[in-house]
Amino acid sequence: MKKFINDPKDFVNEFLEGVALASGGTLKYEPKYHLIYRADMPNKDKVTIIQGSGSGHEPAHTMIVGKGMLDGACPGDVFAGPPVEFVTETSRLLNSPKGILHIVNNYTGDRTAWDMGRELAEADGMKIGTLLVNDDVAVKDSTWTVGRRGVAGNFFVIKAVGAASEEGASLEELLRIGNKVIANVRTMGIALSSCTPPVRGTPLFEIADDEMEVGIGIHGEPGRQRTKLVPASKIVDILLDAVVPDLPFNSGDEVALMINGLGGTPISELYLLYGDAHKKLEKQGIKIFRSYVNEYCTSLEMAGASLTLCKVDEELKRLFLAPAEVSIRVF
Amino acid sequence: MKKFINDPKDFVNEFLEGVALASGGTLKYEPKYHLIYRADMPNKDKVTIIQGSGSGHEPAHTMIVGKGMLDGACPGDVFAGPPVEFVTETSRLLNSPKGILHIVNNYTGDRTAWDMGRELAEADGMKIGTLLVNDDVAVKDSTWTVGRRGVAGNFFVIKAVGAASEEGASLEELLRIGNKVIANVRTMGIALSSCTPPVRGTPLFEIADDEMEVGIGIHGEPGRQRTKLVPASKIVDILLDAVVPDLPFNSGDEVALMINGLGGTPISELYLLYGDAHKKLEKQGIKIFRSYVNEYCTSLEMAGASLTLCKVDEELKRLFLAPAEVSIRVF
């Protein structure tokens, strides 16, 4: 295991402290709940938006806390959902009379924590709504999930409701908008390598030098099949053939196209995949409204990528283009 | 070699085509010269700023072309400087009566191409100035370099002159500002793994499972020493002990602090390094003006990181905070 870490048990706490220190005062960190939150929260004039899945998927979600995105994120340890206490205490600390929106990834551990946390918070009089993200078309019912898994599509849910919430939208409005994104976003990924959670110290799975895992989960869960590595253009075909018919995305649709790196793949390769996917979609009459080529939802240092399509209408286009402030930035 | 590629010979061309397609029309691509450039160039009211080093360091430099940054980038193949023709033709295509600024990394191949390209362009009547970036404190005179190597510090040079050029600064002003950044920026990096250029197909160097290369070059050139891997906090000490005394950075100074990933290291580990470096610098009385935690100048999929400090004054602070538009973005 070759990583920039100290004691593996301190990994999450230490990198989250770095996120807060790097923010120049716009973010605060509460180590008791692994909670990164906006320094200007709570704000009684807006619905509070929070999320907390496993760590190890950065920049999701602790590095996309900021104006126009999440108001707080309280992840568990690497690849582990947050304890119930994180959910209730984060809801309490960031509570707003306009309500709290929980954005939950569809994994059994996450759902249990957020369901119980919601019950406890509601018993305390908090007004809560939940969005359940499940954009991964690869498999239904995998190792850690009943139903489909939530992966990189999360980003579009957060971007849309984050922007609407800055405009003053009600909790009911945010649920409508978030569920519209969820109904229109689909993802599938491919892994070229495994990854090693710090505390575990050994790779999550083994994969041969000439193989790839098609439909990989972001915790290394099995996908659709293990096959021989093929050229990038064939990989794009595999991903589009899974994602496009699923919604389905049709000629005449406008979409956001995301190529998300899983952590260890250079951005040059992501752009290579992007260019090929862009041309193939346009050939099908599907118009690219906006590109997203970067790391959004990773699996530590895993080499791999996922492709996400999100069908957009005028409302979503406006919300996707709205300004936002997050930790990860270029300049 | 596990990569998202087709024919390795097409790698650079294909990913650059992706960069242009992803831009939504703000960037154009001229494959004859690997040239990514702003669609609104040339602009006779501003100095044109161009760069071209090897490919394989993305997002440097083809993905930081845009308003307030580079006007064009014409890289060579992976880890190879651009041919002279790229330099002259890029200068010709993007020529401005206000002049052209060449930002050159201090590698023998790069310098030869840009020196000859400048001579040819000047013979054609173009007005050209050159900035030579050499921020890497690790070694003097390495495999590919006489003097110090240019690495992640490039970003700060480009950000400052890019912003000033949008304000209408003259070529002479840009040379003054760029040289001020170069005089105040210092970097050193550490590699945990090697990387594999697509056409070569084999790793650039070998490194054992328990080793790190201190002072690595961004083409895998040897650094100061090969040692056993140590905890992240000791790695930060090694980097600060090399970078801080070199300028030197002193108590009372204000600095930009960059933790740059070399391609294969997750951003969580970069933030862990950032937090540790931030606290140690503040303890020395050095104030962090702004954080930069991301990939800026990489070596394909190499696992590793570099630390850059840039001492800032009021002018540089203003230019660093100015708006910019680049390919790589989060939303």
pLDDT in tens, A63-91: 999 999 999 999 999 999 999 999 999 99
Interchain CB distance below 8 Å, A22 and B274? yes
* Averaged pLDDT of chain A: 97
Interchain CB distance below 8 Å, B18 and A275? yes
Q: Which two tokens stand for residue B80?
A: 């190879």
Nearest CA in chain A to B155: A331
How many interchain CB pairs under 8 A, A with B?
Answer: 216
Distance from CA of A304 to the nearest CA of B (A): 8
B61, B102, B219, B278: the active-site residue: B219
List of residues 6+ apart from A123 with CB closer than 8 A: none
Interchain CB distance below 8 Å, A268 and B56? yes
Consecutive H or E run containing A261: strand A254-261
Interchain CB distance below 8 Å, B63 and A329? no
Nearest CA in chain B to A24: B290
Q: Domain spanning B185-321: which superfamily?
A: Dihydroxyacetone kinase; domain 2 (3.30.1180.20)
Question: Has residue A131 got a pLDDT over 90?
Answer: yes
Residues in A touching B297 (Cβ below 8 Å)? none
Residue entry with tokens 């293990």: A226
Interchain CB distance below 8 Å, B279 and A55? no
Question: Has residue B247 got a pLDDT over 80?
Answer: yes
Distance from CA of B230 to the nearest CA of A (A): 8
Residues in B touching A291 (Cβ below 8 Å)? 21-24
The mean per-residue pLDDT over the stretch B259-271 comes to 98
Q: Residue A31: what pLDDT? A: 98
Distance from CA of B196 to the nearest CA of A (A): 11
Q: Closest to B2 (Cβ–Cβ): which among A3, A23, A209?
A: A209
Torsion angle of alpha carbons B153, A2, A60, A290, nearest 10°? 60
Distance from CA of B122 to the nearest CA of A (A): 33
Q: Closest to B22 (Cβ–Cβ): which among A291, A327, A331?
A: A291
B196-234, pLDDT tens digit by residue?
Answer: 999 999 999 999 999 999 999 999 989 999 999 999 999
Question: Has residue B80 got a pLDDT over 80?
Answer: yes
Annotated catalytic residues of A are 57, 219
Alpha helices, DSSP H, located in B6-72: 11-22
Q: Residue B297: what pLDDT? A: 98
Interchain CB distance below 8 Å, B295 and A267? yes
Distance from CA of B98 to the nearest CA of A (A): 26
Report the percent of chain A where pLDDT is more than 70.
100
Question: Has residue A296 got a pLDDT over 80?
Answer: yes
Interchain CB distance below 8 Å, B272 and A329? no
B253 falls in which pLDDT band (50, 70, 90)?
Answer: very high
Nearest CA in chain B to A317: B331
B116-137, pLDDT tens digit by residue?
Answer: 999 999 999 999 999 999 999 9
Rounded Cα–Cα distance for residues B26 and B40 (Å): 8
* DSSP codes of every residue in A41-86: ---TTS-EEEE---BSSTTTTGGGBSTTSBSEE---SBT-PPPHHH
pTM score of the predicted model: 0.98
Question: Has residue A210 got a pLDDT over 90?
Answer: yes
A258 falls in which pLDDT band (50, 70, 90)?
Answer: very high
Architecture of domain B8-183: 3-Layer(aba) Sandwich (3.40)
Q: Residue A144: what pLDDT? A: 76
Residue A204: count of CB within 10 angstroms of its CB: 19
**Largest Cα–Cα separation, chain B:** 55
Interchain CB distance below 8 Å, A232 and B6? yes
Q: Where are the domains of chain B?
A: 8-183, 185-321
Consecutive H or E run containing A305: strand A304-311
Across-strand partners of A228?
A211
Q: Residue B184: what pLDDT? A: 98
Q: Residue A141: what pLDDT? A: 79
Report the percent of chain A where pLDDT is more than 90.
95
